[in-house]
Each structure stands twice: as structure tokens, then as C-alpha cells.
Chains A and B, each alone.
Chain A
Amino acid sequence: MSSMVTREGDLELEDTELRLGLPGTDGCKKEAFPSAKGSKRASQPGNLDASHGGCQNAPAAMKQVVGWPPIRSYWKNSFQPLKAENEAPGIYVKVSMDGAPYLRKIDLKLYKGYSDLLKALENMFKFTIGEYSEREGYKGSEYIPTYEDKDGDWMLVGDVPWDLFVPSSKRLRIMKASDAKGLGYGI
């Protein structure tokens, strides 16, 4: 495994040593990538945190490094990728609303986050949801959005980060706030 680049101030003299033998394995050095500062024209999607410790590069998602892979910004801005064909199928969950005659199904992958999802639900079922707060849930709402998680428990929508919510929700239920009375949520 080749030794990694060391950063400024960290004068590791082995790097500048002229050796005649084969490069030995120096063991793992901390890997640090340059910070993602490019010119104003850089338009890389989804800039991940570029620093991480450890030697193995096998994170779940691609590390973002400025100017790598070497693709022209001109091309990046003009190209429209193929959709659908190679993408994973959507995450469809049933949505029930108390008092509604039938259920609906939505694809959670279509929404960017909670506000997106709640707005869509508001439109779909023609109701309004109040503001979410960690302390008081959806205070002042007539309806409360809840979901059934993988353990079978009914949870309040909004408590966990969106990225954890999407794979863990099995179905949604929009409860009447009056049903939730006494539980400390809503009114």
C-alpha cells in the first residue's frame, strides 16, 4: 500500500528520502485530503466531509476531492444522466389518515426531507400540520403524522434524521390530534 500524502507542518522526512531499494510498507499513515475549496465554478454534487482517518478507502460513498475525477466543469454542467433504468426501486409506504375512506401510497425516495414530505401529505389529504418541535411534537395541529417502524412501534414523524427515517418506516398514519390527547402530543 503506498504511503499517503502528508499535510503541511507535518514534515515526515521518509517522504523525501531517496531510497534505492523497493518501497517498503510503512504501515498506515493518516490520510488527509485537500479541503474542497475550488474556484467558484466547482459544482460537485453532494460534497461529503473530505477528511477521515484510517488507511482503507472503502467508505460507503465516494470521497469528494477537488478536481477528481478529472471531468471538465463544462461537461458536468451540460450533461443530463440517464434516470430510472439503473436506479433502485422506490420505497413505497402506505399512508392512512384517520377518517379517510381509503389509504394512499407514496414513494419516500421522492422527497428531500421532512418538510417536503409533510407538504406533500398536506396536499394529498387536504389538512394542515403545525410546526414540529422536539419538545412538543406538532403542537397546535389538528393532525399528527406518525409512522410504524421496523420494531412495530408507532413513532412521531420528525424525531430521527431523515436518512434514518426513510429505510426504517413501514407505514404512515396521520392521527387525529384528539386521539393523541393525554399523551402529551399536540393540543
Chain B
Amino acid sequence: MMQPFPDEVLEHVFSFIESDKDRNAVSLVCKSWYEIERMCRRRAFIGNCYAVSPEILIRRFPELRSLEIKGKPHFADFNLVPEGWGGYVYPWIEAMALAYPCLEELRLKRMVVTDETLELIAKSFKNFKVLVLNSCEGFSTDGLAAIAASCRNLRELDLRESEVEDLSGHWLSHFPENCTSLVSLNIACLGSEVSFSALERLVSRCPNLQSLHLNHAVPLDELPNLLRRAPQLVELGTGAYSADLRSDVFSNLAGAFSKCKKLKSLSGFWDVVSAYLTALYPVCSGLTSLNLSYAAVQSPDLIKLINHCPNLQRLWVLDYIEDSGLEALATSCKDLEELRVFPSDPFGAEPNVTLTERGLVFVSGGCPKLNSVLYFCRQMTNAALVAIAKNCPHMIRFRLCIIEPHTPDYLTFQPLDTGFGAIVEHCKELRRLSLSGLLTDRVFEYIGTHAKKLEMLSVAFAGDSDLGLHHLLSGCESLRKLEIRDSPFGDKALLANSGKLETMRSLWISSCSVSYGACKLLSQKMPRLNVEVIDERESSDSRSEGTFVEKLYIYRTVAGPRLDMPGYIWTKDRDSAIRFS
């Protein structure tokens, strides 16, 4: 068929198409569109680093400038994935050093990054601009020094929530004096002190700096010096927010904040001294995002602060806010879209604060734009969940964590099936859901029936039988990620829905009732799935068909079996000589 347009025109048209989904659709139209599109794709997202190999990526998209890769499964955040599981980024960098000399951006999440990796990045990509290491580990400040020293056009260095071996703060001084390009710097996860004068000079010479997240070691009296050098900041993460109560420190701080007319987002606030919170008042009316999840501040002080922030769209806070604080939030912040309430005493047996289902009901009733919730609490009722569902039909993310497993509705002693059922029934746009409390198979029937847009589901200590899992796998059309722990789901549902697993990114099942025999069967039946049995308990020789596996991670892949697995993972390719008793 004759092309109506020359390739250059098509390429120009395609350059306006940014989303991966749309580009994927474009590439399916015909062979020539596939070829044109792949040559001009600049950005790729790899949700599971083992689903595809560097070679396959490079072969298809030879001109990438920006790459985002995710490694370990989500439950790694809660120590469920043992050390040494994988997620090494080095092979990717090694391959890309040759294939993509013009690579500009790298965003990694839950991957193992080494100093060697960072040094290779610094050496290989002359126009490197953006490095985001989200929840990564395996590197030290030496690797950071290499990045700082070599990347002349570095715009973003963001180490959010990574575990860094902090050898010294000296690495920051490796930014050359002629580096003026920084837009975003996030060093909040680092422990040791960086040189304040080096930091001040760096901030001074980067006029485009918009986002600065300091670490705990930067004291409060240093903050005004930095703010005065960067009044254009849009996002600020403070360091430690405590100092002896002195009026000169206070007025210096308040004065510096009052110069920051563009500040929209605040975080940090370790070791808060409440009295200093009032220094924030000059910027509060412009704030859209406030992260107080490290701030041990009592409810009355929180309420005072929140009352000054009528334009808040996102609030992350500890349960010190209590129901009373959430009621105030519901009154003051009508634009609120996202609320996260974290537990101040997650392992205590008794509640230490009055934070109950009532707080969340208040916010759902008062904030019509609320669409994203993460809420840790100790009690819940079906009635409350139904109210929340009806108040927030536009909910997109709903994650409820009732701290004690199997907790029923505390008024009726019933399971919370009806409540969560209302959530999925009323919130038709729901994309992410986390369940908790006492739940039977019925809740999964509701989810399978109604949650048609659900993409990610987290299940813990829930359900009665395989029927629950069957409802999920057969009903949830959009499901991409499913993670389950400590629930009585087993072989039948898994094997009956094996085809579904190829339509999903991944499935994590731990401490459930899936047997080795079923894993073996599944592996044989579905060659395009990697079925990883993670078992640190015993050697593979003594495994019998009927033994339940400890942890199971299943994901679709075009890259075949991976070659970097530690000894405690069993896959069909690894161990064909298994004998079953």
C-alpha cells in the first residue's frame, strides 16, 4: 500500500504522541508505521526489569533518550523479599552505554544500583540530565560523587527513599563550580552532614532550582540561608525542624519563608518543635502539598497549621491529627485530593490516639475532590465504608490498613465485605485498592463483579477459600498487579486462571496455600511466565509436591528465565532434577 505521507512527515506527527499506550497503538497499524515509530520513540517505561531484556529493548528502540525501570515487587517495601533477590540495573547500563550514548534520563525504582553502575553512568552519557533513584539500594556516596563530578548538565538528582551507604557528605562538593543546571535535588535519605557552604554555593549558582529536599542533618538555623539563595523554590523538604526557642531564629526563618512566593510543597519536618511551625504561615496560603509524615505534632497544633492552608490538595500526616483534626481538615481544605494518615505507634497493642473511621468519613464528606486515600487505623465499620463510597464516587486509590488482621466491623462484628463492596460498586474509576480487616470470599465476589478498572490490588489476611482468588482473576478485567499474603488461596484458582496471568504484570503470593506441585504445573503450562518460588527455609531436595510454598512471584516475560537468581529461588529451568516424594 502506498504511504500518503513521506516518513519525515509521519515522524513529525508521531512526535506529538507521547503516551506509551498511544505509541504502542500507532506501532500496530502497519509495518511501516511500526518502523517509523520505533526509530523515533524517545521514552520507554519498563514496569518489570525481568519482563524484557536490554538487548530486546535496544533492538526495538535504538534512539531512546529516557528510560524508567522498576525492579523488585512492591512487597519488598515491607521486607517480604529476601536480600539478594535481584533487580540489578548494571546489565542495563552496560548495554546502554554502548547503545544509547545520548541517554539523558534514568528513573529507577526498587532496583539495586552499585557505585560501579553510577560511575559507568557518569562516564558513558555525555548529556545525562536526570537521575531518579526511588527506593533503590546498593550504592554509596562515592557513586554520587562520580555523578556530581561528571554530569555537566545534570538537572535532577533525586534519591528519594533510597538506602545509601553514607560514607561522608563530601560528595556534594564534587559538583563543579560551573554546574548551574540543577532543577531538582533530593538528598533527604542521606544520614551524614553535607558541607553547608558547598550546599549554599550550589544553590546560589543554580537559578532554575525548583525542588530542594534536604536531609535531617541540615539544621533549622541553616534553612533561612538556603531559602534566601533560592526564593524561586516550588518544593522544599526541610531538614531537622527543631531548635531552641529563640526569637531571632524564628524571625529569620519566617522572614526567609515570606520571600518564597512560589512555594507549593513542603515536606521534611523531622524532630519538629511545634512553635516553629508558625514560621510557615507566610507560605501556607499557597501550599498545595504538605507532607508531615515525620512530624510528631499534636492535633491542636496541626489544626492551627491546616487552617492556614485552604488550598491544600495533598496532605500526608501522622495519626496524631486524630478525628478532630480531620474534621477541621474537612472544613478548611475543600480542594483536598489526596490524604495519607500514617500510624505513630503501629506495633502498640492499644490505640495511642483517637483516630477512627470517623475521621475518614469527615474528610470524605467535606472534600468533594478526594480521590486518593491511604489510611491506617484500628477500627472500621461497614457503615463508614459505605458512607465514604457514596461521598467519593471519583475515588481512584483507596488503601485502608486496619492494623490488627481479621478485625471485624466493631459495631456489628460482621466482616467488612459490604463496606468494601460499596467502595468498588460506587467508585467506578477505582484503579488501586488495598484491603484489610475481617473479609470473606464475598468481598472478592464484589470486587470481581464491580472493579472493572482496578489495576492493582493488595490482599492480606482475607478470604476463606480459592473461590476468592478465582473471583479476582476471572472478574477484574484491568488487573495488572496482584499481591496477596496470608490468605487461604491455593492451587485450584491459580491453575484454573493461568491464562489471566499473562495479561498481568505480576502476581505475588506469600504464606498462602499454593503447593510446589501446582507451581511446577503452572511453569510447564505457561512458558511465557516466570514462576519464581522463593523459599529460604529448606533445600530443594526435600520439597514434596504437596508442600506449600513460602513465597511465589509470577510475572510475564519475553526475556525467558533470568540468570541472576540467588540459591533460594526455584524455577522450572533451574532444577529439572527435582524429585518429588
Chain A interface residues toward B at CB < 8 A: 1-9, 11, 14-19, 22-23, 33-34, 37-42, 44-46, 57, 59-62, 64-75, 78-82, 85-86
Does the CB pair A62–B465 fall under 8 Å? no
Does the CB pair A39–B343 fall under 8 Å? no
Interface CB pairs A-B, < 8 A, 10: A2-B438, A2-B440, A5-B487, A16-B492, A23-B440, A37-B536, A61-B349, A62-B347, A80-B294, A82-B296
Give bound CA distance, A135 to B80, whole Å. 46
Complex interface residues of chain B between 447 and 483 (CB less than 8 A to chain A) = 458, 460, 462-467, 470
Q: Which residues of B contact A15 (CB under 8 A)?
A: 465-466, 488, 490, 513
Contact of A85 among B83, B189, B298, B512 (CB under 8 A): B298
Does the CB pair B536–A5 fall under 8 Å? no
Given contacts A2-B463, A22-B442, A70-B78, contact A82 B298 (CB under 8 A): yes
Give bound CA distance, A71 to B492, whole Å. 32
Q: Which residues of A contact B415 (CB under 8 A)?
A: 2
Q: Which of B201-209, B384-392, B399-407 binds A?
A: B399-407
Does the CB pair B401–A8 fall under 8 Å? no
- State how many angstroms separate the Cβ of A136 from the closest Cβ of chain B: 39
Give bound CA distance, A70 to B484, whole Å. 13
Question: Which of B135, B345, B352, B464 has the largest number of chain A CB atoms within 10 A?
Answer: B464
Give bound CA distance, A17 to B78, whole Å. 31
Give bound CA distance, A149 to B94, whole Å. 71
Does the CB pair A39–B376 fall under 8 Å? no
Does the CB pair A81–B296 fall under 8 Å? yes
- State how many angstroms separate the Cβ of B108 from the closest Cβ of chain A: 16
Which of chain B's residues has its CB closest to A79's CB?
B294
Does the CB pair A65–B405 fall under 8 Å? yes
Give bound CA distance, A72 to B463, whole Å. 25
Given contacts A6-B513, A19-B467, A78-B216, contact A71 B343 (CB under 8 A): yes
Does the CB pair A57–B405 fall under 8 Å? yes
- State how many angstroms separate the Cβ of A3 from the closest Cβ of chain B: 6
Q: 1/0 per residue B504-516: CB within 8 Å of A?
A: 0000001111010
Give bound CA distance, A183 to B340, whole Å. 63
Q: A2-B464, A70-B401, A70-B434 are in contact. List 9 more A-B contacts (CB 8 A).
A: A2-B488, A5-B486, A8-B548, A15-B490, A16-B491, A37-B536, A41-B79, A42-B79, A74-B189
Give bound CA distance, A61 to B376, whole Å. 18
Q: Which residues of A contact B298 (CB under 8 A)?
A: 82, 85
Which of chain A's residues has its CB closest to B402's CB?
A69
B547 within 8 A of A: yes
Does the CB pair A67–B75 fall under 8 Å? yes
Q: Which residues of B contact A40 (CB under 8 A)?
A: 83
The interface residues of chain A, by DSSP majority, are classed as loop
Give bound CA distance, A35 to B245, whole Å. 47
The 4 closest A-B pairs by CB, nearest first: A67-B78, A38-B79, A23-B464, A82-B296
- State how many angstroms separate the Cβ of A77 from the closest Cβ of chain B: 9
- State how many angstroms separate the Cβ of A83 from the closest Cβ of chain B: 8
Complex interface residues of chain B between 536 and 566 (CB less than 8 A to chain A) = 536, 546-548, 550
B138 within 8 A of A: no
B81 within 8 A of A: yes
Q: Which residues of A contact B406 (CB under 8 A)?
A: 1-2, 57
- State how many angstroms separate the Cβ of B84 from the closest Cβ of chain A: 9
Which of chain B's residues has its CB closest to A40's CB?
B83
B82 within 8 A of A: yes
B346 within 8 A of A: yes
B570 within 8 A of A: no
Does the CB pair A18–B462 fall under 8 Å? no
Give bound CA distance, A19 to B441, whole Å. 10
Does the CB pair B342–A67 fall under 8 Å? no
Chain B interface residues toward A at CB < 8 A: 75, 77-83, 135, 161, 163, 189, 216, 270-271, 293-294, 296-298, 320, 342-349, 352-353, 376, 401, 403-406, 415, 434, 438-442, 458, 460, 462-467, 470, 485-488, 490-493, 510-513, 515, 536, 546-548, 550
Which of chain A's residues has its CB closest to B81's CB?
A39
Give bound CA distance, A16 to B490, whole Å. 6
Give bound CA distance, A4 to B352, whole Å. 28
Does the CB pair B401–A80 fall under 8 Å? no
Which of chain B's residues has its CB closest to A34's CB?
B511
Contact of B79 among A17, A62, A67 (CB under 8 A): A67
Give bound CA distance, A9 to B546, whole Å. 7
- State how many angstroms separate the Cβ of A69 from the closest Cβ of chain B: 5
Given contacts A23-B441, A62-B404, contact A16 B81 (CB under 8 A): no
Give bound CA distance, A39 to B406, whole Å. 25
Q: Which residues of A contact B547 (CB under 8 A)?
A: 8-9
Does the CB pair A23–B293 fall under 8 Å? no
Does the CB pair B513–A73 fall under 8 Å? no
Does the CB pair A69–B403 fall under 8 Å? yes
Given contacts A18-B465, A37-B536, A82-B298, contact A3 B488 (CB under 8 A): yes
- State how many angstroms separate the Cβ of A149 from the closest Cβ of chain B: 26
Question: Which of B320, B344, B486 has the largest number of chain A CB atoms within 10 A?
Answer: B486
Does the CB pair A6–B488 fall under 8 Å? yes
- State how many angstroms separate the Cβ of A71 from the closest Cβ of chain B: 6
Question: Which of A1, A38, A60, A68 has the largest number of chain B CB atoms within 10 A?
Answer: A68
Give bound CA distance, A40 to B163, whole Å. 13
Which of chain B's residues has its CB closest to A31's CB?
B406
Q: Which residues of A contact B465 (CB under 8 A)?
A: 3, 14-19, 23
Give bound CA distance, A80 to B320, whole Å. 13
Give bound CA distance, A44 to B46, whole Å. 33
Q: Which residues of B contact A9 (CB under 8 A)?
A: 546-548
Does the CB pair B488–A7 fall under 8 Å? no
- State how many angstroms separate the Cβ of B503 from the closest Cβ of chain A: 22
Does the CB pair A2–B439 fall under 8 Å? yes
Give bound CA distance, A75 to B30, whole Å. 49
- State how many angstroms separate the Cβ of A35 from the closest Cβ of chain B: 9
Q: Which residues of A contact B404 (CB under 8 A)?
A: 57, 62
Give bound CA distance, A25 to B343, whole Å. 33
Does the CB pair B546–A66 fall under 8 Å? no
- State how many angstroms separate the Cβ of B306 from the closest Cβ of chain A: 18
Q: Which residues of A contact B77 (CB under 8 A)?
A: 70, 72-73
Question: Which of B79, B297, B487, B515 has the largest number of chain A CB atoms within 10 A?
Answer: B79
Does the CB pair B163–A66 fall under 8 Å? no
Q: Which residues of A contact B349 (CB under 8 A)?
A: 59-62
Does the CB pair A3–B470 fall under 8 Å? no
Q: Which residues of A contact B78 (CB under 8 A)?
A: 66-68, 70-73
Q: Which residues of B contact A81 (CB under 8 A)?
A: 296, 344-345
Question: Which of A8, A40, A73 has the largest number of chain B CB atoms within 10 A?
Answer: A8
Contact of B513 among A16, A41, A42 (CB under 8 A): A16
- State how many angstroms separate the Cβ of B279 from the closest Cβ of chain A: 20
